[in-house]
Amino acid sequence: MEKAILYDSSKCTACRGCQVACKSWNEHEAEETTSQGSYENPEELSPETWVKMRFIETERNGKFAWLFARRACMHCTDASCSIVCPTGAILKTDEGFVHIDQEWCIGCGNCVQACPFDVPHKDHHHTGTAMKCTGCTSTGLNRQDAGMAPACVTTCPTGALKFGNRDELIEEANQRVADLKARGMSNANLYGKDELGGLHVMYILDDTVEAYGLPEDPQVASSTVIPKWLTGVATAGVIAALPLWFVFKRKQELEARTKGGA
């Protein structure tokens, strides 16, 4: 039965309980950071930081607005990371959560390059493997298996994070989007219902997808891989046909003819 995390940006107060609870449950170290002139720290996801909050200062119908966006794995149905992974180290649970097997990943970095949301990061210093939010399904720390909600959802004070049956959450989210629209947030929308075959981390946004810096219509990294193979092979053909054919085959015939004709 597919499950999902539902993030409601209109309820989030950026308390960053999720960022800390994830590190506490998954036993990750803190990173060295310095203030870069915003509340956001650490700057980027990393093998130690699987979820962080983004702070976006913007204007919304004439009034100042401060948007808070969760940044972590979206647990895509069509997961580019698992598709491109050459060792099959990226597995999917029955509930739809994507999990990098730390005892099988060879750290080739392909998933890092392929994820539409720039989520996985390679642990250059310790294990060498790629790491990202596992939806709290890491081996030995599998909350979902033990019937518990992920650590970030459990700690969230305002109900901005919920975990449960994906379809039920979609229903609840649609209702919430309607409420937000009624409250004057005309741009409210649900992100993740259909993107990439349906994400297992869906966002209720109280502003446009673009305002939240999310890809409008994310594509699986290898969606156009066949034509790319073909252009490559075709070029080989062109090269074979034109210069090589011209230089070797035709020259061969000319020589034969002149030898014959002379």
Partner 1 sequence: MSLGEMSWNWQLWIDMWAAGMAGGAYLVAFLANKFSGGKYTSLFRTAVLTGVPLAIIGVFFLIIDLGTPIWAWHLFVKFLPVSVMSMGTWTLFAWLIISFVMIILWIVEWDANRNCDKYSAGVVNFVKKFDGLLAWGGFIFAILLMTYTGVLLASTTQALWSSTLLLPSLFVSSATATGVAILIVMTMILNKINEGRGSGWTFSEDLIGKLSKSLMGVIIVEAVVLIAYAVWLALAGDAGNEAFKILVSGDLAIVFWALVVGLGMVIPLALLFLTKGRNALMVITTSSACVLLGGLALRAVITIGGQL
Partner 2 sequence: MELNRRDFLRASGAGLGGLFLFGAVSDDVLMARNVKKMPLKKQVGETTSICPYCGVGCSLLMTVENGSMVHIEGDPDSPINEGSLCSKGASLYQLANNEERVTTAMHRGPGASGWTDVSWDSAVSDIAGKIKATRDSGWIEKNSGGGIVNRTESIASIGSVFLNSEEAYLLSKMLRSLGLVYIENEARICVSAAVAADTETVGRGPMSNHWIDFENSDCFIFIGGNMAESFPVAFKWVVKAQEKGAKLIHVDTRFTRTSAKCDHYAQVRPGTDIAFMGGVIRYVIDDMESNPDNYNMTYVREYTNASYLVNPDFSGPADTLDGLFSGWDGSKYDKATWAFQKDADQADGIKKDPTLTDPNCVFQLLKNHYARYTDDKVVEITGADRNTFQEICQTYAATGKAGKAGAIVFSSSACQHSTGTQTVRTFGILQLLLGNLGVAGGGLDGITGASNGLGCTLQGLVNHWGPGAGSVRPPSGGEQGFDSYGATKGRFASILKAWWGDVDHNTSYDYFPKRDGDYSWQPLFKAIDDGIIKGLICWGMNPMVSGPNSTATKEALSKLDWILVVDLWETETAAFWKTEAGSNPSDINTDVFFLPAAHALEKEGSICNTCRWNQWRYKGSDAPGDARSDLEIVNDLVISLKGLYAGQSDKNADAINKLTWDYGTPPDVHAVTKEMNGYDLTTGKLLSSPGALKADGTTSCGNWLWCGMYTENGNMAARRGTDDASGIGLFSNWGWAWPLNRRIMYNRASVDLDGNPWDSEQPVLQWDSDSEKWLGDVADGGAAPINKGGGRPFIMKPEGRGYIFGPGRPDGPFPEHYEAWESPVSNSMSSQQNNPAIKSWETTAKGDVANYPIVATTHRMVEHLHTGAVTRRIPWLVEAVPDMFIEMSNELAGEKGIENGDKVVVSSARGSIEAKALVTTRIKPSQPSGVHHINMPWNWGYMGPSKGGSANTLTARMGDPNTGIPEFRSFLCDVRRAD
Q: Which among 109-117, 149-157, 186-194, 234-242 is the span making contact with partner 2, rule CB under 8 A?
A: 149-157
Tokens of 191: 């992100």
| Distance in Å, CB of 125 to partner 2, minimum | 16
Q: Which is nearer to partner 1, 183 or 250 (CB)?
A: 250
The CA-atom distances, in angstroms, between 93 and each of 2, 96, 200, 238 are: 9, 5, 11, 45
Question: How many residues are there in the chain?
Answer: 262
CB atoms within 10 A of CB 23: 18
Residue found under tokens 């308390």: 15
Which of ligand SF4, partner 2, partner 1, none lies near 141, with the C-beta cut-off 5 to 8 A by kind? partner 2
CA angle 139, 147, 190 (to 5 degrees): 95
Q: Which among 96-104, 120-128, 208-216, 242-250 is the span making contact with partner 2, rule CB under 8 A?
A: 96-104
User: Could you say whether residue 189 binds partner 2 (CB under 8 A)?
Assistant: no
Q: Which is nearer to partner 1, 108 or 148 (CB)?
A: 108
The residues that bridge with 203 in the sheet, in sequence order, are 7, 191
- Of 24-53, binders to ligand SF4 (CB under 6 A) are 25-26, 50-51, 53
What are the φ and ψ backbone dihedral angles of 175, each rounded to 5 degrees? -65, -45
Q: Which is nearer to ligand SF4, 102 or 208 (CB)?
A: 102
Tokens of 122: 């390679």
The residues that bridge with 100 in the sheet, in sequence order, are 90
CA distance 205 to 69: 9
Which of ligand SF4, partner 2, partner 1, none lies near 127, with the C-beta cut-off 5 to 8 A by kind? partner 1
Q: Which among 59-67, 125-133, 209-217, 247-255 is the span making contact with ligand SF4, rule CB under 6 A?
A: 125-133
Tokens of 230: 């073909």
User: Could you say whether residue 170 binds partner 2 (CB under 8 A)?
Assistant: no
Which of ligand SF4, partner 2, partner 1, none lies near 150, with the C-beta cut-off 5 to 8 A by kind? ligand SF4
- Of 202-221, binders to partner 2 (CB under 8 A) are 220
